[in-house]
């Protein structure tokens, strides 16, 4: 089966670590970037569970305010704006372009599916020089339910006019893998440093240390 390959964006394709100097400037500690990203995810999951939708940009700024209060830090307006701008212009991880080229050259159709808003997602792909490689730049915001809820994965299948089983979601996050598998699609996990699967749930059939490793396995499995 020629699957549709759907990539998560933040941390999977793009290096959120590029924001470290900004967090060093704001908090005197680049490590707060991970705390902020974790808080943003927690706020996103809670908003899904209590069925009170907020877009990812709003969640990102809310998480920044929570982390700032926790650390007793006042965030300047210009730093808040720098975070928004930084999220739009994250660099791709070094192997990403080559890995996506490999998949496209092998005949796969590629798209992205992110919790970022459509406007941010388009800016992210364009600024990372990856926009030409993908058919659709999809956002969970369109269905107002964030991953790992099933609706975004179903939307990706609908937009490609295929069944959900024809989708393979590629992500560096255990929670995204869990959502995709539960929705009925295949999945591939990019085991970036610090990222681990949840061994208690359903497991993806493809796991690789980086996107090129994963791409080679997809070519072998899905062609």
57 binds a copy of itself (CB under 8 A): no
Q: How far apart are CB 53 and a copy of itself at their closest, in Å?
A: 12
204 binds a copy of itself (CB under 8 A): no
Q: What CA–CA distance (Å, rounded) separates 210 from 69?
A: 35
70 binds a copy of itself (CB under 8 A): yes
49 binds a copy of itself (CB under 8 A): yes
For 66, phi and psi rounded to 5 degrees? -65, -45
* Residue placing its CB nearer to a copy of itself in the complex, 128 or 155: 155
6 binds a copy of itself (CB under 8 A): no
Q: Which of 17, 62, 84, 184 binds a copy of itself (CB under 8 A)?
A: 62
Q: How far apart are CB 59 and a copy of itself at their closest, in Å?
A: 8
Contacts of a copy of itself in 144-163 (CB under 8 A): 148-150
* Residue placing its CB nearer to a copy of itself in the complex, 197 or 221: 197
Q: Which of 92, 152, 179, 204 binds a copy of itself (CB under 8 A)?
A: 179
Contacts of a copy of itself in 80-139 (CB under 8 A): none
53 binds a copy of itself (CB under 8 A): no
Question: DSSP labels for the chain?
Answer: --PEEEE--BTTTB-GGGGHHHHHHHHS-TTHHHHHHHHHHHHHHHHHHTT----HHHHHHHHHHHHHHHHT-PPPHHHHHHHHHHHHTPPBPTTHHHHHHHHHHTT-EEEEEESS-HHHHHHHHHHTT-GGG-S-EEEGGGGT--TTSHHHHHHHHHHTTS-GGGEEEEES-HHHHHHHHHHT-EEEEE--TT----TTS---SEEESSHHHHHHHHHHHH-
Q: Which of 43, 111, 112, 124 binds a copy of itself (CB under 8 A)?
A: 43
29 binds a copy of itself (CB under 8 A): no
CA distances from residue 197 to 76, 113, 173 in whole angstroms, order as listed? 36, 20, 7
Q: How far apart are CB 97 and a copy of itself at their closest, in Å?
A: 28
Give the residues lining the site for a copy of itself (CB under 8 A).
38, 41-43, 45-46, 48-52, 54, 58, 62, 65-66, 69-70, 148-150, 174-175, 178-179, 182, 194-201
């Amino acid at each position: 089966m020629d699957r549709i390959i759907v990539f998560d964006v933040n941390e999977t394709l793009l290096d959120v670590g590029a924001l470290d100097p900004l967090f060093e400037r704001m908090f005197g500690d680049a490590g707060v970037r991970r705390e902020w990203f974790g808080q943003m995810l927690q706020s996103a999951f809670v908003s899904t569970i209590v069925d009170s939708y907020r877009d990812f940009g709003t969640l990102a700024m809310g998480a920044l305010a929570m982390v700032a209060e926790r650390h007793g830090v006042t965030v300047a307006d210009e730093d808040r704006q720098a975070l928004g701008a930084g999220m739009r212009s994250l660099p791709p991880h070094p192997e990403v372009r080559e890995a996506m080229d490999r998949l496209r050259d092998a005949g796969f159709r590629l798209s992205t599916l992110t919790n970022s808003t459509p406007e941010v997602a388009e800016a992210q792909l364009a600024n990372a020089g990856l926009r030409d490689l993908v058919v659709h730049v999809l956002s969970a915001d369109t269905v107002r339910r964030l991953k790992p809820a099933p609706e975004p994965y179903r939307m990706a299948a609908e937009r490609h006019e295929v069944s959900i089983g024809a989708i393979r979601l590629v992500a560096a996050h255990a929670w995204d893998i869990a959502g995709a598998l539960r929705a009925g699609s295949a999945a591939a996990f990019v085991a970036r440093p610090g990222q681990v699967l949840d061994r208690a749930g359903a497991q993806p059939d493809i796991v690789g240390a980086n996107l090129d490793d994963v791409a080679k396995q997809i070519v072998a499995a899905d062609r």
